[in-house]
Amino acid sequence: MLDSFGRRINYVRISVTDRCDLRCKYCMPQTNPFFYKKKDILTLTNLKKISEALIKLGIKKIRITGGEPLIRKDIIEYIKFLGSKKINNEIDELLLTTNGTQLSQYSESLFKYGVRRINVSLDSLISEKFNFITNGGLLEKVLEGIFSIKKKGIEVKINTVLIKNFNEDEIINLVKWCGEHNFKLSFIEIMPIGDVPISRNKQYLPVSNAKEIINKELKLEPSSLKSPGPSNYYYCKSLDTHIGFISPISNHFCRTCNRIRVTSNGIIYPCLGDNNSVDLNPFLNEQDDKKLIKILQKLIYTKPEKHFFNINEKSYIKKRYMNTTGG
């Protein structure tokens, strides 16, 4: 489906839960985080209904996210369902974004049902710092998970959010570590989504700083890798690795945006940075999917041209957090 700006919308990120076993300091409020009522979380039946309707409308790539998607009890059932869509060529890609804590126990099922690429979020390779930023996460458990999926033959992509005065001193180490293990790596600018105690300006480190740090020590060259997504890739010859830079703040990529998002309580957002959304729940109990399809078509068509947040306080999205919208 094309939106009103001629962009082909073929990618959805579906959040299957807003709950998480970690509490990353830049993602969620630190005290009393808001969670949807349990009764409002989409059932497996409704997750399937929405996925099928979106597939009918031309969605070819589905990424499961959260919260932490792998803590949802019936997650493998849902992945199995989407895996069957992949086998039937109804979708091209079935992807997952995870914090990695549960990967060891699920690596086998994930591979079995067709997941071939997983994004793992990792902001530090130092146990104490990882524990600090995630509010209690165990780095060793995440690393164990990462290596268990690698062993199964699933491609690992590490996503690191750049955080000023926290991980700029680890940029080189992360690049070398990913090069050594043959993991793709993308650095991402922090987004002002959700009100957290520290000013986003104080957390914000532009990707240009990271590029400069890497270029000084390891040299970056233009990369042949052209991602359809927002990552702008560079090649590091000494490590034979491609490094992506995602810059929602310093250089937004809205012109080529092909994605929409569904939250775990059934709200669809055509743009992460815009509060325009539609509640799909009233259309999920109908006999057929006609009304659901119609509302989805309308929403996709009206996807905003671009997001308007930047690092100035006035543009922040304060009341919506990444764990609820889905990263």
Q: Which does 193 bind (CB under 5 to 8 A by kind): ligand SF4, ligand SAM, none?
A: ligand SAM
Binding mask 104-133 for ligand SF4 (x = CB under 6 A): -----------------x------------
Q: Is 68 in the site for ligand SAM (CB under 6 A)?
A: yes
Among 12, 16, 20, 79, indicate the residue that binds ligand SF4 (CB under 6 A): 20
Inter-residue contact 117 to 98 (CB < 8 Å) = no
The nearer residue to ligand SAM, 170 or 289, going by C-beta atoms, is 170
Q: Is 186 in the site for ligand SAM (CB under 6 A)?
A: no
Q: Which does 230 bind (CB under 5 to 8 A by kind): ligand SAM, ligand SF4, none?
A: none
Phi-psi region of 144 (alpha: psi -120 to 50; beta: other; left: phi over 0): alpha
Q: Is 137 in the site for ligand SAM (CB under 6 A)?
A: no
Stretch that binds ligand SF4, among 61-69, 105-113, 172-180, 249-257 (CB under 6 A): 61-69
Shortest spacing between CB 190 and ligand SAM, in angstroms: 4
Q: Is 66 in the site for ligand SF4 (CB under 6 A)?
A: yes
Stretch that binds ligand SAM, among 108-116, 216-224, 284-292, 319-327 (CB under 6 A): 319-327
The nearer residue to ligand SAM, 10 or 203, going by C-beta atoms, is 203
Q: What are phi and psi of 256, to 5 degrees?
A: -110, 15
Q: Is 149 in the site for ligand SF4 (CB under 6 A)?
A: no
Q: Is 296 in the site for ligand SF4 (CB under 6 A)?
A: no
Q: Is 324 in the site for ligand SF4 (CB under 6 A)?
A: no
Stretch that binds ligand SF4, among 21-29, 69-77, 140-148, 164-172 (CB under 6 A): 21-29
Q: Is 28 in the site for ligand SF4 (CB under 6 A)?
A: yes
The nearer residue to ligand SAM, 20 or 262, going by C-beta atoms, is 20
Q: Is 189 in the site for ligand SF4 (CB under 6 A)?
A: no
Shortest spacing between CB 71 and ligand SAM, in angstroms: 9
Residues 161, 174: Cα–Cα separation, whole Å? 12
In angstroms, how far is the first alpha carbon of the chain from the final one? 22
The nearer residue to ligand SAM, 66 or 145, going by C-beta atoms, is 66
Q: Is 26 in the site for ligand SAM (CB under 6 A)?
A: yes
If DSSP states are collapsed to H, E and C, what string results for the chain?
CECCCCCECCEEEEECCCCCCCCCCCCCCCCCCCCCCHHHCCCHHHHHHHHHHHHHCCCCEEEEECCCHHHCCCHHHHHHHHHHHHHCCCCCEEEEEECCCCHHHHHHHHHHCCCCEEEEECCCCCHHHHHHHCCCCCHHHHHHHHHHHHHHCCEEEEEEEEECCCCHHHHHHHHHHHHHHCCEEEEEECCCECCCCCCHHHHECCHHHHHHHHHHHHCCEECCCCCCCCCEEEEEHHHCEEEEEECCCCCCCHHHCCEEEECCCCEEECCCCCCCCEECHHHCCCCCCHHHHHHHHHHHHCCCCCCCCCCCHHHCECCCCHHHHCC
Q: Which residues bind ligand SAM (CB under 6 A)?
A: 20, 26-27, 65-66, 68, 97-99, 121, 159, 161, 188, 190-191, 193, 322-323, 327
